[in-house]
Amino acid sequence: MGLEQVIKEEAARQGFPLAGITTPDPPAHLEFFERWLAAGWHGEMAYLASEHSRQRRADPRLLLPECRSILVLGVPYDPSRQEEGEKGEGNKGSIAAYAWGEDYHSVLKERLQRLAAFIEAQVGHPVPSRVYTDSAPLLERELAQRAGLGWIGKNTCLIHPRLGSYFFLAEVLLGIALQPDPSFTVDHCGSCTRCMEACPTGCIGAQRSLDARGCIAYLTIELKGAIPEELRPALGNRIFGCDVCQQVCPWNRFAPARGDQAFAPRQDVPAPDLPAELGLTADGFRRKFASSPVLRAKRSGYLRNVAVALGNVGEDAALPALEWAARANLDALVREHAQWAVERVKSRIKKGDSPQSRKERRDI
Ligand code: SF4
């Protein structure tokens, strides 16, 4: 068995069922990415446009001068289904599936380091390496496509024909020459445009581009200030990320029902009770989301999102928690979004259109 196969089999044992090999050649999508930056579609994510990142994105060898091969890996997580958790009934929020459990950065880094050590032991001499999972300026999805793992869908996710798109990507840059895998060349999206039509803010453009400034993942995680008022209704009950473009993708019908259980959902995380979340103290937030990707939003951003979700789907019973947050929360950002939500809920009650009154009408 060749070294490439030995490495892939060990990768599978270490929890990376998807593995492929490519070269550190400059990425073909670089020009496209530069145009995306020039259009300002990265919003406030200034780190993407820094000279330091641009140089490394253009030439992965700047991350590891000895790099001769890149091992690209994929780890599935539990998929979120369209029917589950996004109705907002009973004052429930919705968190994107990748963030239901442990933070992938820490879980995968340890596995990647073990895999790099295994490769060194197989080769029998020191091998320069670097390991990354969404933690370096690499065009990860292009590398994955080049390594044969799947194609980049119109929703901009990497899609594997058997596993769908609910998986994390990771890379090991290696200072040894390995035989690269054939790149994945078929575009299985065909004439489908479901993700583009379903996107709540319409931020998926032509040619597999996405205006991050309208993406709910950006608005609820990366954006640190106020969410533009005109976009708030489109968030629905989503308080951290969004899975819509993956939920509607027909290729996720084939995704396994369970992903890697290191990322299994924690209790009460996929669909939290929104009024209770609004009462989370700084300590409570840190405890609830210890070693979870949700920490990235920080408490201020998280409570801002919770307030917006209640403004969109909150039932009458949520008003006291919202009014308290609008009056007494120490964070001005949270107070402003809570006040916006109070007015939306009251306006619905006045029109007799709250989720509670709709339910009562159904029950008569
Ligand atoms: Fe491609 Fe359709 Fe999936 Fe969008 S929903 S990524 S167009 S297959």
Query: Is the Cβ–Cβ distance between 237 and 309 less than 8 Å?
Result: yes
Say what the pLDDT of residue 255 is: 85
Average of per-residue pLDDT across 148-163: 97
- C-alpha of residue 243 to centroid of ligand 1, in Å: 13
| Burial of 34 (C-beta count, 10 Å sphere; 0-12/13-18/19+) | middle
Q: Residues 75, 247, 309, CA angle at the centre, nearest 5°?
A: 105
- C-alpha of residue 249 to centroid of ligand 1, in Å: 5
Q: Is 251 in the pocket of ligand 1 (CB under 6 A)?
A: yes
Say what the pLDDT of residue 84 is: 59
Q: How many residues does the chain have?
A: 364
The torsion angle over the Cα atoms of residues 163, 12, 75 and 4, rounded to 10 degrees, is -90
On the question of pLDDT at 225 being above 70, the answer is yes
Nearest CA owner, ligand 1 atom 3:
249
Q: Is 210 in the pocket of ligand 1 (CB under 6 A)?
A: no
Q: Is 175 in the pocket of ligand 1 (CB under 6 A)?
A: no
Q: Is 265 in the pocket of ligand 1 (CB under 6 A)?
A: no
- C-alpha of residue 199 to centroid of ligand 1, in Å: 11
Say what the pLDDT of residue 351 is: 84
Say what the pLDDT of residue 360 is: 56
For residue 196, the ligand 1 atom closest to its alpha carbon is 4
Is 134 in the active site? yes
Say how far apart CA 349 and CA 148 lie, in whole Å.
Answer: 53
Higher-confidence position of 282 and 363: 282
Say how far apart CA 359 and CA 364 lie, in whole Å.
Answer: 9
**What percent of the chain has a predicted confidence (pLDDT) above 90?**
88
Q: Is 151 in the pocket of ligand 1 (CB under 6 A)?
A: no
Say what the pLDDT of residue 361 is: 52
Nearest CA owner, ligand 1 atom 1:
189
* 3-state SS, residue 341: helix
pLDDT tens digits along 236-258: 999 999 999 999 999 999 888 89
pLDDT tens digits along 52-74: 999 999 999 999 999 999 999 99
Q: Is 90 in the pocket of ligand 1 (CB under 6 A)?
A: no
Q: Is 158 in the pocket of ligand 1 (CB under 6 A)?
A: no
For 42-62, give one letter per residue: b (16+ CB within 10 A) or e.
bbeeeebeeeebeebbbebee
- C-alpha of residue 84 to centroid of ligand 1, in Å: 20
Whole-model pTM: value is: 0.93
Say how far apart CA 160 and CA 150 lie, in whole Å.
Answer: 4
Q: Is 165 in the pocket of ligand 1 (CB under 6 A)?
A: no
Say how far apart CA 124 and CA 47 lie, in whole Å.
Answer: 38
- C-alpha of residue 342 to centroid of ligand 1, in Å: 37
Catalytic residue among 25, 134, 187, 268: 134
pLDDT tens digits along 285-317: 999 999 999 999 999 999 999 999 999 999 889
Tokens in use for 161? 């024909």
Query: Is the Cβ–Cβ distance between 25 and 69 less than 8 Å?
Result: no
Ligand 1 pocket mutation, candidates 194, 204, 252, criterion most atoms within 8 A of CB: 194
Extract the runs of DSSP E, i.e. beta strands, from 17-116.
18-22, 69-76, 94-95
- C-alpha of residue 192 to centroid of ligand 1, in Å: 6
Say how far apart CA 232 and CA 227 lie, in whole Å.
Answer: 7
Report residue 352's pLDDT band, with 50, 70 and 90 as the boundaries: confident
